[in-house]
């Protein structure tokens, strides 16, 4: 699809790997007061990398490893980009569930509709935290608590706010992407989800 601007929004890509397969989780943040610059997007990437190392990785199996965070300005095809190392292994010393088995975290806003909600499919669930297809309550609580650290205007990082981005409405591509601030995260069900593209030999 041709470039679609999302003014004053940065996409932040968390890159990792499990069993040699790339894993990606995307987050979006809007800037207030002054627009995105090379300096403030580097600050954002650095803060998210620190969160990955200090929080995101902790509930995950040590079969999963983080590598870097890539942040880029969605307002322009030639916008600023920042790449920051996020080298870490999962903090739980137990075998991971297979690559395609994911914890599907629901990302919510104060608005209804598909355009105002998102998801993250998290790889590296410890097998010890899965009973048949059901995740443990402690694992889910830890993941939710970590993501809740990102919610709020300027609370995670001054000047930035975590948002959901919508690029399509009613099956049609929007002229310009829109964003809605995130207000809550949760698991809508305790069972694992499948992300087949993460199976060994496929994509991210």
Any alpha helices (H) in the chain, and if so which ranges? 38-51, 137-148
Q: Does pTM surpass 0.95?
A: no
Give the per-residue pLDDT at 28: 98
Give the per-residue pLDDT at 201: 57
As averages over each run of 10 residues, the pLDDT of the chain (204 residues) reads 87 97 97 93 98 98 98 95 98 96 96 88 97 97 98 97 89 85 97 74 54
Cα–Cα distance measured from residue 200 to residue 186, given in angstroms and rounded to the nearest whole number? 28
The domain segmentation of the chain, as residue ranges, is: 9-198
Class of residue 52 by CB neighbours under 10 A (exposed 0-12, middle 13-18, buried 19+): buried
């Amino acid at each position: 699809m041709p470039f679609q601007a999302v003014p004053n929004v940065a996409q932040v890509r968390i890159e990792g790997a499990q069993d040699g397969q790339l894993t990606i989780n995307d987050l979006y943040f809007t800037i207030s007061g002054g627009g995105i610059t090379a300096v403030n997007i580097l600050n954002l990437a650095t803060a998210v990398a620190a969160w990955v190392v200090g929080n995101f990785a902790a509930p995950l199996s040590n079969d999963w490893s983080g590598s870097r965070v890539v942040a880029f300005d969605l307002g322009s095809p030639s916008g600023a980009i920042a790449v920051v190392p996020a080298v870490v292994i999962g903090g739980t010393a137990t075998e991971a569930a297979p690559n395609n088995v994911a914890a599907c975290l629901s990302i919510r806003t104060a608005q209804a509709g598909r355009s105002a909600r998102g998801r993250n499919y998290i790889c590296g669930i410890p097998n010890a935290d899965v009973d048949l297809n059901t995740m443990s309550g402690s694992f889910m609580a830890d993941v939710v608590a970590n993501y809740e650290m990102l919610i709020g205007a300027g609370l995670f990082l001054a000047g930035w706010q975590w948002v959901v981005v919508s690029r399509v409405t009613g099956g049609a591509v929007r002229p310009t992407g829109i964003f809605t601030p995130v207000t809550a995260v949760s698991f809508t069900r305790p069972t694992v989800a499948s992300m087949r593209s993460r199976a060994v030999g496929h994509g991210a």
